[in-house]
Copies of this chain bind each other. A is one copy, B any other.
Amino acid sequence: MTDYYTPGEVARRHGLSLDTLRYYEREGLLAQVERSPAGHRRYRASDVEMLDLVRCLRDTDMPIARLREFAELVRAGDHTIPQRIEVLVEHDAQLTARIAELRRRQEAIRHKIDYYRGVLAENRSDTEEEGR
């Protein structure tokens, strides 16, 4: 039992590739990850926590650049909490808007499906008439 996670563990747990994990670190989304004497990464609970948030924001389409800004705020210390809240609140609003848009589009798609089903139903009854 150790108090850190290996790259493989973290990657598996988050469904990310090792390359992506390293990429996120390079891009400044994660702070300086600790290393073992052999140079291997050791992810602490705090890294994993940050990664959870990163994944949450990435999965809701926050661009890497914005995530980096957010990560910089985190690294700058607790006095940036108001700005962090601002970022998250804005993203939350965008998310609400995006969900609403998806719903609207979904409605339209469903109408199209219904329309096509209507066409099929009509063709079917045409065939029945023919058969009479």
Which size class do A's interface residues fall under? 20 to 34
What residues of chain B lie closer than 8 Å to A92, measured between beta carbons?
A: 106, 109-110, 113
Please tell me how many copies of the chain the complex holds: 2
- Of the 9-residue stretches A8-16, A34-42, A94-102, which lies at the interface with chain B? A94-102
Q: A113's contact among B78, B88, B103, B120, by CB below 8 Å, is which?
A: B88
Given contacts A81-B119, A116-B88, contact A98 B108 (CB under 8 A): no
Q: A85's contact among B60, B85, B116, by CB below 8 Å, is which?
A: B116
What residues of chain B lie closer than 8 Å to A117, measured between beta carbons?
A: 85
Q: Mark A70-101, 1 if CB is under 8 A from B, else 0.
A: 00000000100110110011011001101101
Chain A interface, DSSP helix/strand/loop, else mixed: helix
A103 and B91 CA atoms in complex are apart in Å by 13
A-B contact pairs, 27 of them (CB 8 A): A56-B108, A56-B112, A57-B109, A59-B101, A59-B105, A60-B105, A60-B109, A81-B116, A81-B119, A81-B120, A82-B120, A84-B116, A85-B116, A88-B109, A88-B116, A89-B113, A91-B109, A92-B106, A95-B102, A95-B105, A95-B106, A95-B109, A96-B106, A98-B102, A99-B99, A99-B103, A102-B102
